[in-house]
Amino acid sequence: MPSRAPALNLKTINPAVLDVHYAVRGELALKADKYTQILADPKEKNSLPFDHVVTANIGNPQQRGLNQVPLTYWRQVISLLENPPLFEEHLDVIKQIYPEDVIERAKSLHQEIGSVGAYTHSKGVLAIRKRVAKFIEERDGFPADPESIYLTAGASAGVSSTLSIALQEGDGCMIPIPQYPLYTATLAYLNAKPIPYYLSEANDWSMDHETLLKAVEEAKKKNIPVKALVIINPGNPTGACLSHEAMEAVVRLCYEEGIVLMADEVYQTNIYDPSHRPFVSFKKVLKGMPKEIADTVELISFHSISKGVSGECGRRGGYFECVNISDEVMEQVYKMASVTLCPPVSGQVGVDLMVSPPKQGEPSYEKWKQETSLIHENLKERSYLMAEHFNKMPGVSCNPAEGAMYLFPKIQMPQKAIDEAKKRGKEADVMYALDLLDATGICAVAGSGFGQEPGTYHLRVTALCPETAEFVGRFEKFHREFMEKYK
C-alpha cells in the first residue's frame, strides 16, 4: 500500500495553535529539564559547570529545589478526606495524631462532599462556594452570591473559560505590558486582539490613566471593538500594587466605554507592606462607587490556591466571581462549566481551606499562623534582598516588588550583545537567559515573553529560591562576565 501523509500536520491542525506562545514553559524550561536529567545521571553530572538547576522561572513554591513545606493543617485535613476510614473506623488512633479541629473539619467536608473521587456540581460544591462567598463578604464588606461563584481548576482555567465566552473573533482585550503570558496565549487561540497598555517602570510599574485612554483610542482607530480589560493586581511579573485611585479610574473607564473588567487577584495575600499599599479588591472598589456604576460595570475576578502562602499549584484549585453579569450570559457560563463536568475535587477542598483557615483559639491555629507567617516573611526578605543586589550590578536596575512572587529587573543590553542575538535569531534577553542557564543552571524567563517597552530588556525571576545568597552570587558572576564579553 502507498504511504499516506499524516492526517495531523502543521498545515491541517487548528492554525490558531501555531500563534500560541507561553514563555514560562517554553524553550528555556525544556533546556532546564534536560540539564536536570543530565545531573541525575552519575556518568554525566560532571559535564556541566553547576551541580543543580535553580528553577526561578515559575511561581511553583513546592517544586523540588524550592521546597516550600506544605501547610500542616491542609495536608492533615486532605489526608483524612482521601481515606475516610481513618476517622470512621480508627478514630482513637487518629486522635493521637491529628488535632481535634482537623478531624472535625474532615468529617464536615466528608458529609458535604462524599467521596473525593466522585463528580461534584459543575460550579463546585455548594457548601464550599458559600464559604467563598462569606470570605469575599468579610474581605470587602459587600455581599457575594454563591451562585455567581465558580470553583475552577486553578485561576488559569477560569481565565481561559471566561475569556472564551466573553470574546468573539476580532474582539479586543486590553492587557498590561508586561503581562502574564496566559493572556496573550489565550487571546491568540481565540483569534481575539490583544490591546496593550504599558505600565510605567519609571514610576514603580504604576498604571497611567492616560495610557489606558490612548490604548482605547488606538483600538477604535483600527475598528477593534474593546470588549474586556485585564488587570493583574498585585502584578505579575512586576510585583506592583495598584492604588485605590488608579483602581477607581479603571472602573470609570469600563463604565464609560462598556468594557468588561477582568481582575486577576491571585497574589492578594502576597503583600509585603500592607500599611503602605494594602490589597483592595476590584469588587470592593466597584461596590463603593456611585450606584449607577456599582450596579452596571461587569466584573469577573479570579483567585487561586497556587499562590498566597499555600503554594498548592499541583492541586489545581481556584475560583472566579461574576458581578453584574446578565442572567442570560450566566446561563452560558454554567453551560460551558458543565462541559468539563466539574473542577478537581482536591482543588475545591484547597479553596475551602484557603478561604476558611483555622480560627484563633482552635487547636491548629498557632501552628498554621507560625507556618504562614514564616512563608510570608521569607518571601518578603528574599524579594528585598534580590532587588538590592540586582541594583548593585552594572547595567541592571530593578524596582522593589510591593507584592506577588517575582522581580522584573531591566538589563542595559550592550549593542554587541544585541547584534550577537540577531545572528542567533533570538531576542537579546532570550539569548541572555539561555546563556545564564548554560553557565549557572539558573532558569529565568526573558522579559520579551511577558512584553516590554520596545528597546528595553528584562528578566523575570521568582523570589522563591531558598539559597538566595548563592543564587545572587551565581547570577552576578555571570552578569559581569556577560557585560565584559559584549562591552
**Residue 460: phi, psi to the nearest 5?**
-105, 125
Is 12 or 251 the better-scoring residue by pLDDT? 251
Residues 6+ apart with CB under 8 A from 131: 352, 355, 356
Nearest to 447 by CA among 437, 457, 455: 457
List the chain domain ranges. Answer: 15-68+370-485, 119-355
- Region of poorest pLDDT, from 51-60, 361-370, 379-388: 51-60
d(CA 464, CA 243): 26
d(CA 14, CA 461): 33
Indicate if the pLDDT at residue 30 is higher than 80.
yes
d(CA 95, CA 100): 7
pLDDT above 90 as % of the chain: 66
pLDDT at 324: 96
Sheet with strand 149-152: strands edge to edge:
149-152, 318-323, 299-304, 260-264, 226-232, 172-177, 193-198
Tell me the average pLDDT across 468-475.
85
- 208 by DSSP, 3-state: which? coil
Indicate if the pLDDT at residue 127 is higher than 90.
yes
Tell me the average pLDDT across 399-423.
92
pLDDT at 63: 80
Tell me the average pLDDT across 240-245.
90
Indicate if the pLDDT at residue 4 is higher than 80.
no
Indicate if the pLDDT at residue 351 is higher than 90.
yes
pLDDT at 68: 84
Indicate if the pLDDT at residue 22 is higher than 70.
no
> Which CATH number applies to 119-355: 3.40.640.10, 3.30.70.600, 3.30.750.24, 3.30.930.10?
3.40.640.10
Indicate if the pLDDT at residue 19 is higher than 90.
no
**DSSP per position, 322-375:** EES--HHHHHHHHHHHHHT----HHHHHHHHHHHS-PPTTSTTHHHHHHHHHHH
Residues 6+ apart with CB under 8 A from 64: none
d(CA 383, CA 259): 35
Tell me the average pLDDT across 229-240.
91
pLDDT at 466: 76
Indicate if the pLDDT at residue 282 is higher than 90.
yes
Indicate if the pLDDT at residue 475 is higher than 80.
yes
Nearest to 126 by CA among 108, 105, 150, 161: 150
Tell me the average pLDDT across 285-292.
96
pLDDT at 1: 61
d(CA 268, CA 306): 12
pLDDT at 47: 82
Number of helices followed by number of strands (H, E) in the chain: 19, 14
Is 259 or 278 the better-scoring residue by pLDDT? 259
pLDDT at 87: 87
Nearest to 213 by CA among 174, 169, 263, 260: 174
Tell me the average pLDDT across 443-447.
89
Tell me the average pLDDT across 174-203.
90
pLDDT at 311: 87
Is 440 or 25 the better-scoring residue by pLDDT? 440
Is 199 or 22 the better-scoring residue by pLDDT? 199
Q: Which residue has the cell 482537623?
A: 102
Residue type, 184: T
Q: How confident is the model at residue 27 (pLDDT cuts 50, 70, 90)?
A: confident
pLDDT at 42: 82
- Considering the chain, what is the average pLDDT of its residues? 91
User: b vs e for 20-30, b when ≥16 Cβ sit within 10 Å of the residue's Cβ?
Assistant: eeebbebebbe
Indicate if the pLDDT at residue 65 is higher than 80.
no
pLDDT at 487: 84
pLDDT above 70 as % of the chain: 99
Indicate if the pLDDT at residue 192 is higher than 90.
yes
Q: How confident is the model at residue 25 (pLDDT cuts 50, 70, 90)?
A: low
pLDDT tens, position by position, 86-120: 988 898 888 999 999 999 999 999 999 999 999 99
Indicate if the pLDDT at residue 2 is higher than 80.
no
pLDDT at 95: 93
CATH number of 15-68+370-485: 3.90.1150.10
pLDDT at 467: 77
Residues 6+ apart with CB under 8 A from 140: 281, 283, 284, 287
Nine cell digits for residue 97: 495524631
pLDDT at 200: 86
Q: Are 209 and 249 in contact (CB under 8 A)?
A: yes
**DSSP per position, 58-95:** S--TTSTTT-PPPPHHHHHHHHHHH-THHHHT-HHHHT
Total residues found in the chain within this entry = 487
pLDDT at 24: 61
